[in-house]
Amino acid sequence: MVIEMLAASNPYQNPLQTTREERGRQIASNDGQITRIDDHTYKVSSQSKEKSFYDVKDTEIGWSCSCPDHKHRGVKCKHIWAVQLSIGIRQQVKKNLILEPITITRCPTCQSTNIKRAGYRYNKKWEVTEVCVLGLWKMVQL
């Protein structure tokens, strides 16, 4: 849905730009091709060189990529397209994501009520919390 909205935003694209967009869409649709370093920096796998990556950055003056296409032609390359599509998908998912509060009253391991919550840590698969039961710190999968 997000990809179609981005594609429909400019009906007057030249054919080369459309090809870059399509290639960017292919990159974004494959798992493990884009690694987010921080909110403004990404590493994107090269499609032509095995085990090679390009740095894609969101700067004050726009997007930049370390690939030859962007460096020499100054165009929006397939790597920038892929990152922007990935960001659009992530924003769409964030809008639809509802996290229910989790209440722990007993330790899942020993059923003790002597619990001190130290905060939540999130990863890609599940929510994890650190709890202290009788002075022993444990990582608990919820």
Q: Parse the chain into domains and list their residue ranges.
A: 2-96, 100-142
Instruction: Tell me: pLDDT of 106 over 50.
Output: yes
Nearest by Cα to 88 from 14, 34, 11: 34
Percent of the chain with pLDDT over 90: 34
Instruction: Identify the pLDDT of residue 91.
Output: 87
Check: CB of residue 42 under 8 Å from CB of residue 34.
yes
Encode pLDDT of 108-136 as tens digits: 777 777 766 555 555 555 555 555 545 45
Q: Is 101 helix (H, G, I), strand (E, B) or coil?
A: coil
Q: How many helices (H) and strands (E) does the chain have?
A: 4, 7
- The one-letter amino acid code at 67 reads C
Of the candidates 46, 38, 49, the one whose C-alpha atom is nearest the C-alpha of residue 70 is: 46
- Helices 78-96 & 15-29, crossing angle to 10 degrees? 50
Separation CA 126–CA 55 (nearest Å)? 29
Residue 14 pLDDT class (50, 70, 90 cuts): low
Q: Answer with the residue of higher pLDDT: 21 or 114.
A: 21
Can you give the pLDDT at residue 125? 57
Percent of the chain residues topping a pLDDT of 70: 65
The tens digit of pLDDT for each residue in 37-66 reads 998 999 999 888 888 999 999 999 999 999
Give the Cα separation of 55 and 60 in Å (integer): 16
Q: How many Cβ atoms from other residues are within 10 Å of residue 132's Cβ?
A: 14
**Local structure of residue 106 (DSSP, 8 states):** S
- Pairing type for strands 41-45 and 62-65 reads unpaired
- Confidence class of residue 93 from pLDDT cuts 50, 70 and 90? confident
Amino acid symbol at 139: M
99 vs 85: which has the higher pLDDT: 85
Q: What are the tokens at 138?
A: 């444990």
